[in-house]
Amino acid sequence: MKFVTAEISGEAFVGLMNETDRKILPLGKAAEKKDGSTDLPSAMQECIALGDSFIQSVRNLLDWVKGNPEGEDLYIPLDSVKLLAPIPRPGKNIFCIGKNYADHAIEMGSKEDIPEHIMVFTKAPTTVIADKEMILNHRDITEQLDYEGELAVIIGKKGRGIKKEEALDYVFGYTIINDVTARDLQSRHKQFFIGKSLDTTCPMGPWIVHSSTIENPNKLDIKTSVNGEIRQNSNTENFLFPIEEIIAVLSKGMTLEPGDIIATGTPAGVGKGFKPPRFLQPGDAVEITVENIGTLSNKIEG
């Protein structure tokens, strides 16, 4: 199941993506057609917060649609809607894991930079944009805009002190994030928040793939290309800290909540890692593909 947040005629809704036929089932309207009314929220975070009851409602809807011609008529062609980020405005900063691939830690410094413990920073909610939206070039404040392709985890239920062996039970699904970074600001301010939190520097999407369809999130191919040239090519099996450990560490004394987003780190091949560096330029097209999830595509403002 691939869940989207989409907009049509200025109205946002949560839908289910049929990627084969390139069409979307608006869940609220489908539930209203089936039952005469609906309690399904129109915001993704609220749907996620419903937990297992939301997924069961969706499965019931799909069964009804398959058995009713009037249900099939509810699908909307993908090209007639605007896809928003799956969670357009997160309720919290996005949790980000730094240097979670050894090769990336080395390209940013040396073997001594491989972390012994999980490294965490955050991005502001105002950074989030959707697939196909424009990334501002911010040329007035940075000359070193860089890309970072990452698998992102969407938390599905509230928890604190979560055990590693139970951690994946707290995951609603997975999406893709481009952790766009102003490297010069990151260096100048001696911390990550400003350099990671410029407006439009967290493209996300194009959808959330439900956890039930991802057998092992710690074994997914991940690739990033710039203008068609593959720059990053790795697999999440190369994580230094797997998703279960990340969730366990973050939840020690800190409550994770439905809709929380965790970006799991980027592999080697970022612009700063090249000699000389290859930072993003106006007009560049960045595509990030994660196995079994899809492709996130964005261009830099010209």
Mean predicted confidence (pLDDT) in 278-283: 98
- The tokens describing 76, both together, are 């909307």
Q: Are strands 82-83 and 2-8 parallel, antiparallel or unpaired?
A: antiparallel
140, 10: one domain: no
Instruction: Write the single-letter amino acid at 105.
Output: A
Locus of tokens 């010209």 = 302
CB atoms within 10 A of CB 49: 17
49, 160: one domain: no
Domain with residue 257: its CATH number is: 3.90.850.10
- Check residue 195 and give its pLDDT: 97
- Check residue 48 and give its pLDDT: 97
Tell me the pLDDT of the chain averaged across its residues.
95
Domain-terminating residue out of 49, 83, 117: 83
77, 209: one domain: no
Domain-terminating residue out of 52, 83, 114: 83
107, 38: one domain: no
27, 131: one domain: no
242, 189: one domain: yes
Residue 89 lies in a domain: no
Chain CA centroid to CA 231, Å = 19
232, 185: one domain: yes
What is the C-alpha to C-alpha distance for residues 209 and 14, in angstroms, rounded to an integer? 13
Convert the pLDDT of each residue in 118-153 to its tens digit.
999 999 999 999 999 999 999 999 999 999 999 999
6, 109: one domain: no
What is the C-alpha to C-alpha distance for residues 224 and 232, in angstroms, rounded to an integer? 5
Residue 99 lies in a domain: yes
73, 111: one domain: no
- Check residue 153 and give its pLDDT: 98
The DSSP result for 89-141, as a single string, is S-SSPEEEEES-BHHHHHHTS-GGGS-SS-EEEEE-GGGEEETTPEEP--TTT
- Check residue 68 and give its pLDDT: 83
27, 104: one domain: no
Convert the pLDDT of each residue in 60-119 to its tens digit.
999 998 888 777 789 999 999 999 999 999 999 999 999 999 999 999 887 888 999 999
Domain range for 75 is 2-83
Residue 142 lies in a domain: yes
Q: Which of 45-59, 61-75, 259-273 has the lowest mean pLDDT?
A: 61-75
79, 204: one domain: no
CB distance 109 to 274 below 8 Å:
no
Residue 293 lies in a domain: yes
Residue 88 lies in a domain: no
Domain count, the chain: 2
